[in-house]
Amino acid sequence: MHRRILIIVLGVCLSLVAAEGSQKPNSGKAKPRPSSSAPDDQNKTVPSTNAKSGAPPQSAKKAPVAENQWALLVGVSQYPGQIQSLGFPRDDARAIKDLLVKSAGFSEDHIRLLTDDGAGDAKATRQNILAAVDSFGSRVQPGHEVIVFLAGHGIARGLGLQAKSFFLPVDVDAQSKESLDRTGVDLEDLARRLSALKASQFSIFIDACREDPFPGRGIKGNTMTDVMSRGLRIAPSTARPDAVPPTSIVFYACKVGERAYEDPQLKHGVFTYYILEGIRSVANRPDGRVEAGYLADFLKENVQKWSADFQSRAKFAVEQTPMMVATEVHGPTVIVRMSQPSASPPSAPTTSKVVLATSPKDASVSLNGKVLGTAPLEKELQPGQYTVLAESQGFQPTETKITVVAGYQQEFTITLKPSATNASYEKGVQFEAQKLWPQAVASYEQAVREDPTSIAAYERLANAYMAAARYRDAVDLLTGASEKQPDNAALLARRARALSEWAARDETEDASTNPRPSKAIKQKDANKEAVRAAELAAKRAPDLAIVNLALGYAYTLEERDRPKAISAFVRATTIAPDDPEGYFGVGYSYRLMKQYPQAIPQLKKALELRPDYYEAHRELAYCYHSSGDNDHAISEYNTATGYQGETNNSGEMAGNHLALSALYTEKGQQVGGADGDAIARASKGYETEARRYDPTLKAAIRVLTASGVSYRMTAYLPSEVRGLINTGGVSVPGVPGGIKLPGFGKKKP
């Protein structure tokens, strides 16, 4: 018998609760109504009403027993100490169980329900949650499916390679990073435990990011982060390397940088409510199948309608856009089968999005013979089969077939093999896959010593150095490699990018540890050397996009060279028109020149091609802020703060939060009254977040001053922070302002 594991994870980072009584029914497909799935008595559930009519279902068929399906459902509403309580997570979890048992044929003994008010092993403690996953180990077999539903608070801590995301169990102690490591549920650890199960399919729903977990922050939400969106990804188990990789479908309540909401009228988190409605509404004939693509469309459409309705009455921006990411999908994926098919199921989805990534990153990607640019890339495609080719110097070209399924956002990662390899390199790749970075770096360093001609080893090691903020070490490594291969234009371009990155950094931000060669270049000369290396690469290979990108970034370092930077970036876009980095470079250069109307469309084009482009969101926020477009600035800063895994610059991340603090203070003063007070309290919350990254805020002010926005913030900052700007209490570095350049080293290797 074919068996499956379905995972639903809900409510990890929860946000604002819509005011009681303020909601009116939506006019969309699913009309909000008080949900009878979430009872007044927290220990009981009552029968669900019909999604279309609001009436109890009439003589519904009994669902066939789903003996191949399992579920872990966790809901935490009440937390200890100062952690903010939430309204509906425990009811959300109970409503999901009610639906699975009564309408989808799940056996009671195939479901583990853990809540904050549960008793014994049904209490949602860290130990019980992990033990519940492990308890499936002997029961789940190949072909099975499981549902995991997590509802409660979730937070992310750290930046770059050190960033981690946690689900907060009922017994969490979140007062310090150490206590959180000890008592929180690390989502990557949870994913490893789930991946160890023998399941063939995982369907994961994350209703993450509702209320800020800490008190006194007004309307400030706990936005979805890239760290959390990556945390619960199912991967093939290392214990079973020959096993077929499982299908994994992950639904998120919102995009990175957005927040999810609760609605007292719906008696659920908004995303959870529409999951319950959607499963009933898209159950298709003949067997009540709920396909993931149909459900994804339903969730996106109806949650966005709810957001628009609430936005029309709110005094602040409301954005909640559900998304779905799928891996190892080979056809329509059925999540559950309902006993009662919908009377009017929706039409089938027609398009799909794919994300094409490579390992190592930044390889050139072609689709059906057309060069797209460097990975990662996002494309909207018609369903069907496509041929993807990934190429990178020092690696064997790798071609693979992908199947695009309608209605899904699918992720494909193409792993390139080096042209020549050794045991140390292979060890490094294995350590990197496990995120054991010190061991990966040591292995790649040994690989370079064993084979000084290995471009693949140099690239992997340089990426690891840059991701760990070891900029000088990356420069020295690539300088040595370029001396061995002086005619290698791609290698010269990578060295120029590393030099540009290093030149734009404050020395205190560099974590390099390696001893330096006696004739090593000094940081004060890095900008000139970056230009020299990039121009030399351009002489060798003027028609390579990566060379023109390197030339563009080198030219951004000096004000007089920025018109030339724009020309180089424009050339890159003509060579690879589907690569977002060239458009970003044009926009970045215009922003440095304070030509914001010219910068904005270029940055928006980059985001159209790669929505998760952190640096583009950051630069767009600076442009809107400098132009006085505060609402769009708030939206882009919020998105930028969600990309904790994409930067290791604490001053830069603190600056994003401090800018939001000033913008919310300004907006609170404009709105006034009780609403204005709530907005002003959010301002204090953002300042607190900024100080978590940069306690003195000096680095944050340095970044914001160099970015041209601090003058707009002065009147809305605390007096002690205004003093840093007014008295020159901080030094402002050179033109790039110590801001992390995009591109080289921006992604985890």
Please give the Cα distance from 430 to 661 (Å, whole number): 42
For 445-478, what is each residue's pLDDT tens digit? 999 999 999 999 999 999 999 988 899 999 999 9
Structure tokens at 248: 């994994």
Cα 677 to chain centroid, rounded: 31
Specify the pLDDT at position 671. Answer: 86
Is pLDDT at 69 greater than 80 in this prediction? yes
pLDDT number for residue 27? 38
Residue by residue, DSSP assigns 140-176 as: --TT-EEEEEEES-EEEE-SGGG-EEEE--TT---SS
Q: Topology of 14-337 in CATH?
A: Rossmann fold (3.40.50)
Q: What is the structure's pLDDT at 343?
A: 87
Instruction: Please determine, for residue 58, whether its predicted confidence score (pLDDT) is greater than 70.
Output: no
- At 358, is the secondary structure helix, strand, or coil? strand
Quote the pLDDT of residue 64: 66
Answer whether 489's CB lies under 8 Å from 533's CB.
Answer: no
Q: What is the pLDDT of residue 420?
A: 82
Predicted local confidence at residue 311, as pLDDT? 81
What is residue 23's predicted lDDT score, i.e. its pLDDT? 40
Q: Which amino acid is at 656?
A: N
The predicted structure's pLDDT at residue 244: 87
The contacts of residue 610 (CB under 8 Å, 6+ apart) are 376, 377, 378, 580, 616
Please say if the pLDDT value at position 326 is more than 80: yes
Peptide linkage before 376 cis (omega within 30 of 0): yes
Q: Is 284 left (phi over 0), alpha (psi -120 to 50) or beta?
A: beta
Q: Is the pLDDT of residue 175 over 90?
A: no
Helices 471-484, 455-467: inter-axial angle, 10-degree rounding = 160
At 437, the pLDDT band (50, 70, 90 cuts) reads confident
Question: Which of 184-193, 613-622, 730-739 has the least mean pLDDT?
Answer: 730-739
The reported pLDDT for the residue numbered 49 is 37
For the chain, give every domain's residue range: 14-337, 352-415, 423-539, 578-749
- Higher-confidence residue of 4 and 399: namely 399
Q: What is the mean pLDDT of the chain?
A: 86
Mean pLDDT over 138-161 rounds to: 90
Q: Per the structure block, which two tokens stand in for 186? A: 């690390």
Give me the mean pLDDT over the 425-442 stretch: 89
- Residue 219 has what pLDDT? 58
8-57 tens-digit pLDDT: 555 554 444 444 434 433 434 555 543 333 333 333 333 333 433 333 44
- Using CA atoms, how far apart are residues 327 and 590, in angstroms rounded to an integer? 38
Distance, in Å, from the CA atom of 51 to the CA atom of 266, rounded to the nearest integer, reads 13
Residue type, 496: A
Superfamily (CATH H level) for 352-415: Carboxypeptidase-like, regulatory domain (2.60.40.1120)
Residue 715: partners with Cβ closer than 8 Å, 6 or more residues away: 666, 722
Enumerate residues 6+ apart whose C-beta is below 8 A from 63: 102, 103, 104, 105, 288, 337, 338, 339
For residue 467, the model assigns a pLDDT of 87
Q: What is the mean pLDDT of residues 278-304?
A: 93
Same fold, 423-539 and 578-749: yes
633 near 624, Cβ under 8 Å? yes
- Out of 391-395, 479-483, 709-713, 730-734, pick the least confident: 730-734
Which has the minimum average pLDDT: 39-48, 399-408, 561-570, 593-602? Answer: 39-48
CB 170 within 8 A of CB 183: no
| Tens of pLDDT, residues 308-321 | 988 887 766 788 99
pLDDT band for position 689 (cuts 50, 70, 90): very high
pLDDT at 240: 72
Collapsed DSSP state (helix, strand, coil) of residue 69: strand
The pLDDT score that the predictor gives to residue 197 is 94
Q: What is the pLDDT of residue 286?
A: 86
pLDDT, tens digit, 9 for 90 and up, residues 71-129: 999 999 999 888 888 999 999 999 999 999 999 999 999 999 999 999 999 999 999 99
Listed in order, strand segments (DSSP E) in 563-680 are none
Report residue 726's pLDDT band, with 50, 70 and 90 as the boundaries: low
Q: What percent of the chain has pLDDT over 70?
A: 86
Give the span between the Cα atoms of 113 and 10, in whole angstroms.
Answer: 13
Single pTM value for the model? 0.84
- Higher per-residue confidence, 273 vs 435: 273
Share of residues in the chain with pLDDT > 90 (%): 61
CATH class label, 578-749? mainly alpha
What's the confidence (pLDDT) of residue 659?
97
User: What is the distance between the alpha carbons of residues 660 and 434, in angstroms, rounded to a whole number?
Assistant: 35
- Which of the listed ranges 151-160, 194-203, 235-244, 546-555 does the model predict with the highest average pLDDT? 546-555
Confidence of residue 700 (pLDDT cuts 50, 70, 90): very high
Say how far residue 595 (Cα) sits from the centre of its chain. 30
pLDDT of residue 451: 93
Helix axis angle for 673-693 and 650-671, nearest 10°, is: 170
Predicted pLDDT at 131? 96
| CA pair distance 540, 532, nearest whole angstrom | 13
Structure tokens at 268: 């659920």
The residues, any chain, with a CB within 8 Å of residue 515's CB and separated by 6 or more, are none
CA diameter of the chain? 84
Which backbone phi and psi does 611 adopt, to 5 degrees? -60, -25
| Nearest Cα to Cα of residue 274 among 28, 78, 76 | 28
DSSP state of 221: B
Distance CA 193, CA 69 (A): 17
Tell me the CATH number for domain 423-539: 1.25.40.10
Would you state the pLDDT for residue 544? 94
Residue bearing the bigger pLDDT, 568 or 467: 568
Separation in Å, CA 507 to CA 192, 351, 524, 733: 37, 48, 10, 11
Confidence at 177, pLDDT banded by 50, 70, 90: confident
Summarised one tens digit per residue, pLDDT across range 327-363 is 999 889 999 999 989 988 888 888 899 999 999 888 9
What are the Cα distances from residue 62, in Å, to 47, 197, 277, 448? 14, 29, 19, 64
Cα separation of 298 and 70, whole Å?
24
pLDDT score, position 62: 67
